[in-house]
């Protein structure tokens, strides 16, 4: 008991000494009467007492005020941001003009800067960045826990200059060397495919996207298209008004497009107001980089049975932000509402599941797939009913081509059926054995199958519209 008392006393003494040392020389002011007085007190106290010399550039009162503003928004969701004057100018340029950078849409999620989607054709897209990548470093500097505007600022730069991004992709750390360029943001591209299938790729929903989409649709109709593919893959979103107008081109009059649930004003349901301009079959392509306004259009077409959705589950950004310019020259982007699809489905952090789920081979890591293959002895011919590691290796390779075999190393009926189907589809003579020539043809097919030009999601869309 005595020892216990001594320990307790020691702890009390340590706490008192620690507190006394920390507070020595300062008089603590009584609680201010209101938040404004309290903020002023903290601001003045810090400016008077902070040892400014320990910072390389020091800190000013304006710096503290700016930091307080940012702190307010840091406690909100990842899409709400405070901008100082320079940051606001940079942000508006990125949505409405052209700038020097790498061409990716990013967000802050937990402590990471995360890629929402790369913009097609930009340096970031060509380098191989993907939706969901976590950017953990820029030019060797760890940017974990950085705020979004600071991270964006260091990734931008003069066209022709190099930046190295360190990416965490499913716990694999990768470095990407990217040359910055002028990022010209186009709204869309369109063309006519075989079998009179129209194709419109909406890159993002920027100003004038509605006009450009309508003009593209009318031009395609003048070329007598019989069906339409709308490609929203890696479209990070954009303006709410623009996507509502575009949805109105494809949805019957008086049908719901999207419901917007505001915090501080009446909720709004956007309804189609014009006659459907295109009443033939439509397929919409989406992936994990399809976000925000892309999901509004996808949900509207899916819920109103106007289109078949093909691809992978979308990003899941079901919130609406408003951009406000402040008298100081800065601005704020604030989440003011949540939107729901036409059938009142909440999609925030959930996404929209396609009607037909199919991953794109372009997004698969062929290097990792090949590294998982066991070696095959191409000098030994493999015969039906053989059991060996060679058979196992062939099964792995056929599965990479989506044959879904059980990896058991047995050259049984299912493996033979898959082999013969592969041979027929590739104009090869069917056999009940596997030799060096057969293995080489399978390996060659794998290389072609995962080629960046082999867009199997688009091919699926074309197949659906051709069948119909």
Note whether 269 and 304 are same-domain residues: yes
Per-residue model confidence (pLDDT) at position 251: 95
Residue for token pair 């072609």: 448
Which residue in 227, 303, 445, 460 is the catalytic one?
303
What are 292-304's pLDDT values in tens digits? 999 999 999 999 9
Note whether 226 and 347 are same-domain residues: yes
The whole-angstrom distance between residue 256's C-alpha and the CA centroid of its chain comes to 27
Q: Which two tokens stand for residue 442?
A: 């399978």
Note whether 353 and 247 are same-domain residues: yes
Note whether 216 and 335 are same-domain residues: yes
Among 134, 117, 125, residue whose Cα is nearest residue 178: 125
Which residue in 292, 294, 333, 460 is the catalytic one?
292
Note whether 372 and 321 are same-domain residues: no
Note whether 274 and 335 are same-domain residues: yes
pLDDT beneath 70: ranges in the chain: 1-33, 93-100, 185, 362-365, 451-453, 467-468
In a domain, 7, yes or no: no
What is the rounded CA–CA span in Å between residue 147 and residue 31?
31
Q: Give the total number of structural domains in the chain.
A: 3
In a domain, 106, yes or no: yes
Note whether 202 and 177 are same-domain residues: no
Note whether 176 and 195 are same-domain residues: no
Compute the half-sphere exposure of residue 322: CA atoms within 13 Å on the CB side of its CA. Answer: 10
What are 147-164's pLDDT values in tens digits? 877 888 889 888 899 999
Per-residue model confidence (pLDDT) at position 253: 93
Note whether 411 and 321 are same-domain residues: no
Which residue in 108, 317, 333, 460 is the catalytic one?
317
Note whether 267 and 342 are same-domain residues: yes
Write down which residue in 184, 207, 232 finishes a domain.
184
Per-residue model confidence (pLDDT) at position 55: 83
In a domain, 174, yes or no: yes
Any idea what the CATH number is for the domain that residue 230 is in?
Answer: 3.90.226.10
In a domain, 11, yes or no: no
- The phi, psi pair for 167, rounded to 5°, reads -115, 135
Domain range enclosing 283: 188-361
Per-residue model confidence (pLDDT) at position 165: 95
Note whether 241 and 203 are same-domain residues: yes
Find out whether 138 and 177 touch, Cβ atoms under 8 Å. Answer: no
Any idea what the CATH number is for the domain that residue 402 is in?
Answer: 1.10.101
Note whether 223 and 357 are same-domain residues: yes
Per-residue model confidence (pLDDT) at position 275: 80
317 is catalytic: yes
Any idea what the CATH number is for the domain that residue 142 is in?
Answer: 2.30.42.10
């Amino acid at each position: 008991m005595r020892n216990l008392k001594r320990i307790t006393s020691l702890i009390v003494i340590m706490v008192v000494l620690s507190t006394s040392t920390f507070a020595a020389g300062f008089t603590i002011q009584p609680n201010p009467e209101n938040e404004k007085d309290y903020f002023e007190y903290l601001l003045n106290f810090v400016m008077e007492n902070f040892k400014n010399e320990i910072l390389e550039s020091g800190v000013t009162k304006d710096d503290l005020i700016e930091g307080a503003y940012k702190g307010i928004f840091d406690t909100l969701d990842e899409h709400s941001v405070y901008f100082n004057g320079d940051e606001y100018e940079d942000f508006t340029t990125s949505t409405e003009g052209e700038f020097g950078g790498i061409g990716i849409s990013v967000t802050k999620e937990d402590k990471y800067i995360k890629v929402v989607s790369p913009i097609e054709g930009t340096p970031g897209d060509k380098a191989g960045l993907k939706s969901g990548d976590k950017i953990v470093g820029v030019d060797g500097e760890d940017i974990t826990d950085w705020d979004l505007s600071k991270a964006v600022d260091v990734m931008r730069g003069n066209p022709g200059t190099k930046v190295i991004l360190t990416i965490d992709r499913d716990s694999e750390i990768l470095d990407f060397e990217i040359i910055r360029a002028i990022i010209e943001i186009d709204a869309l591209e369109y063309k006519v495919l075989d079998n009179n299938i129209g194709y419109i790729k909406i890159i993002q929903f920027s100003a004038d996207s509605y006009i450009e989409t309508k003009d593209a649709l009318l031009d395609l109709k003048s070329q007598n298209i019989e069906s339409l593919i709308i490609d929203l893959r890696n479209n990070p979103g954009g303006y709410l008004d623009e996507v509502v107008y575009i949805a109105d081109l494809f949805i019957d009059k008086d049908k719901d497009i999207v419901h917007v649930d505001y915090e501080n004003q009446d909720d709004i349901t956007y309804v189609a107001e014009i006659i459907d301009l295109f009443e033939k079959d439509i397929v919409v392509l989406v992936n994990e980089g399809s976000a925000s306004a892309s999901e509004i259009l996808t949900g509207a077409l899916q819920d109103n049975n106007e289109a078949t959705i093909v691809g992978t589950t979308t990003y899941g950004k079901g919130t609406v932000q408003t951009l406000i310019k402040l008298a100081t020259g800065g601005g704020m982007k604030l989440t003011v509402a949540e939107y729901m699809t036409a059938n009142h489905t909440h999609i925030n952090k959930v996404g929209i599941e396609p009607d037909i789920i199919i991953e794109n081979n372009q997004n698969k890591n062929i290097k990792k797939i090949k590294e998982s293959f066991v070696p095959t002895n191409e000098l030994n011919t493999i015969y039906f009913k053989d059991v060996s590691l060679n058979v196992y290796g062939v099964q792995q390779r056929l599965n990479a081509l989506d044959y879904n075999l059980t990896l058991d190393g047995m050259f049984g009926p299912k493996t033979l059926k898959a082999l013969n189907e592969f041979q027929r589809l590739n104009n090869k003579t069917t056999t009940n054995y596997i030799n060096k020539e057969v293995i080489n043809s399978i390996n060659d097919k794998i290389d072609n199958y995962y080629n960046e030009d082999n867009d199997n999601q688009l091919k699926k869309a074309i197949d659906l519209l051709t069948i119909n």
